[in-house]
Chains A and B, each alone.
Chain A
Amino acid sequence: MRIRPRILVGSLSIALLPMLVLLLALQIVALVQQNINIGNSLQDSVARLKDDFSRDMDKYQNFVYFTSRSIKNFGRNDLRDLTDPAISFMFNKLRLTTLELTYGPEVLSRKLNMNNDFSLEYILDSEKAKFYWNQMDDPLMPWYATLSTPDLVSNIFVMRHIAVIYNSGLAEKVGLVVATMPIDNIYMTDLVGTSQDLIAVVNVGGILISSSQWPLQPEAISKMHRAFGRKRAGYEQLNIPGKGDYYFAFDSLFREKGKDIADIGILVRGDEFRQLMTTNLIVSLILFIVISAAATLVALSFSNRLTVPLLDLRAMVLNFQRNLEMIPRPSRIQDEIDELQDGFGRMTESIWNYQESLVEYSQNLNESNRKLQELDRLKTEFLNSVAHEVRTPLTSMVGFARLIERFAQDDLRQFLPQDVPKVAKTVNNIVGNAQIIFEEGMRLTDLLNDFLDLAKIESGKVEWKMEMTNLRTAAEHALISVKPMFEKKGLQVELIAGKDLPNIVCDKNKIIQVLINLLSNAAKFTDQGKVVCDIQATGSELLFSVSDTGIGISPDNLGRIFEKFKQVGEIVFKDIKGTGLGLAICKEIVEYHRGRIWAESEYGKGTTVSFALPLAFSVGRGEEKAG
């Protein structure tokens, strides 16, 4: 079944459950209450009997017919033509017995109040056997006009209805019709039916006038009578000697003008009654439990039909989470949960497949990574090897060249006769050649150093030591380094830097390297004049400028001087030596510090190479500028 109908049925059954339970609970409560108040239940029975009595009374009436002139028996047929609707009614409804003369020992005058405003007066003269009547206003009278005295009648309780008989012209009253109803055992039998209970009617005189069952002992009757006659309905527990304990409920059966005429009571055996109640209660309880259990089972079953598959699915998902176990696709798809499972199943399948691919890719990546790391390591080793292995022979070469020069310069000149022209020339040649070897060796060294530097910077292998630096001090350091070079050429070098230059964070040695490089270049390309190193602080930068009065750079070449192996002058002036890597390295260093480097020149007049470093520089390439 699909989910929605399933949920609906489940919910309905769950909703009905409390209703059922409530109903049963109420029933149990009622029964319990009844058990507690047996008397009330009896009283209800009494009330029911009262109602039955009122309803069925009309069945049990007899007739007496009187006229004013003579006492005569009238049979049913005589009454047939009478026009009084009440009489007709009586005739049609009631059983008729002919002539029952009743006499009473006294004259009774009574005014009877009926419903509405009608009243009837009559006089009963028993001695003369005469009945007199007063004027009657309305022949129609209600049914329950009664007369009952214990003396007039025997011990039978009688109800009477009196109607006036008119002649055909409705001019003359010709007689009375009295309908009577004795309460006797026929009534009681009908009333009680097959009930096992005793139902008794006792009249105001305390005389049992009727009882449904076995006759009661006088003690029982007197006990009952004591209960009777009270203003209100009620019940009692009675112990009838020889019979046991009884519950007894009573009520007034008929009152006349506030006076109790007859009472009716129900007598039931106590133990029987209690047993019955208890049985009822137990049965109800059992029913309650059974129905509750059944309803619960039904509700559970329906909810399980929903939750169990869901929980299973959840377990499968958790299992996948923990152990990566694939979720199986259901063999048949019957509802939405099966669809879900199918979907999940396909997802986990895909995940598995992707995972396998990923594992493969990752293995490949690991392999590539290893190889790259290996290559990197080899590269570093290579650079280190080159550095060491090349420098060593260079050291010999350069060193011995210098020694040859020394030997020739100092010793040969000393020991050989210098006045012989060939000797002097040879010695000079030796000295000159040795010098060339030395210089070229140093140039080779510079080239090697620059090459290694650049390689290291480009592969990020350089260790940058960033620290707070005083740039004036750094510049002074650089100047000291290049001083020999300037002195040799007879050039002047000057530093312009205020004493209050802000310190910045940079790699001190690298910046010194840059300054040395720029100053060296300036010296190289200038034959006479002055080189100025100027450091200024602008709002956000520290500006360095190295200016010379040298040959300058043409506009075409100006932008290209920072490229590797590019050097102006190599074309025109072949004797200017340089590696061509210096400016490229300076560019790398300056740009690592997030600065910029550029050159301005006027060909033939001079050159100024400048670089700027930001004042607020945060350590490390690639990070955002602070401040």
Chain B
Amino acid sequence: MPKILIADDEVNIRLLLQMTLERLNDAGVELLVAENGVEALRQIRAHKPELVFLDVMMPEMSGYEVCSMVKKTNPVPGVAIILLTAKGQDADYQAGMNAGADQYLTKPFDPDVLLVTAKKILGLSD
């Protein structure tokens, strides 16, 4: 059962992501939710989701730090991370890539695009 983790400190964004990705429940995908960086890291280590949508600006620990931990410091294999951010500068993009992220999406995003991306990564058909 593939798992997707949603990590964002904004309740509305969490709801948006959940509602967008709910469609995948029929394909057997389980959704996990975290409200801050520390929680996100714990869940990743505990459940090892195949895909993580990680907001960059979070309290406790930023998305960059979580990504860095998961990808570099104490790698958890088989976890794809997509960073979501309100910033759009090249420097932020670079920071994301340096942290080891697989993809980088700027807000606001098109939920359709998000869904298609998730399906692609999990290897699910349309």
Contact = CB atoms under 8 A, between A and B. Distances in A.
Contacts, number: 56
B57 A395 contact: no
B55 to A, nearest CB: 10
Chain A contact surface mostly: helix
B13 A395 contact: yes
Contacts of A398: 108-110
Contacts of B88: 387, 449
Interface residues of A, number: 22
A565 to B, nearest CB: 21
Contacts of A442: 108
A403 B21 CA distance: 11
A285 interface: no
Interface string B81-119: 000001111110000000000000001111110000000
B39 interface: no
Q: Chain B interface: which size bin?
A: 10 to 19
Given A400-B16, A403-B19, A403-B20, A395 B87 contact: no
Contacts of B87: 387-388
Contacts of A490: none
A465 B90 contact: yes
Contacts of B12: 393, 396
Given A387-B86, A391-B107, A445-B108, A399 B20 contact: yes
Candidate in A391, A441, A445, A449 with the most chain B CB atoms within 10 angstroms: A391
Nearest to B17: A399
A396 B16 contact: yes
Contact of B10 (A392, A402, A403, A509): A392
A394 B108 contact: yes
A391 B108 contact: yes
A402 B107 contact: no
A391 B16 contact: no
A463 interface: yes
Contacts of A397: 108
Closest 5 CB pairs of A and B: A391-B86, A395-B108, A399-B16, A395-B107, A396-B12
Interface of B: 10, 12-13, 16, 19-20, 57, 86-91, 107-112
Interface of A: 387-388, 391-400, 402-403, 406, 441-442, 445, 449, 463, 465, 509
6 contacts: A393-B12, A397-B108, A399-B109, A400-B19, A441-B108, A463-B91
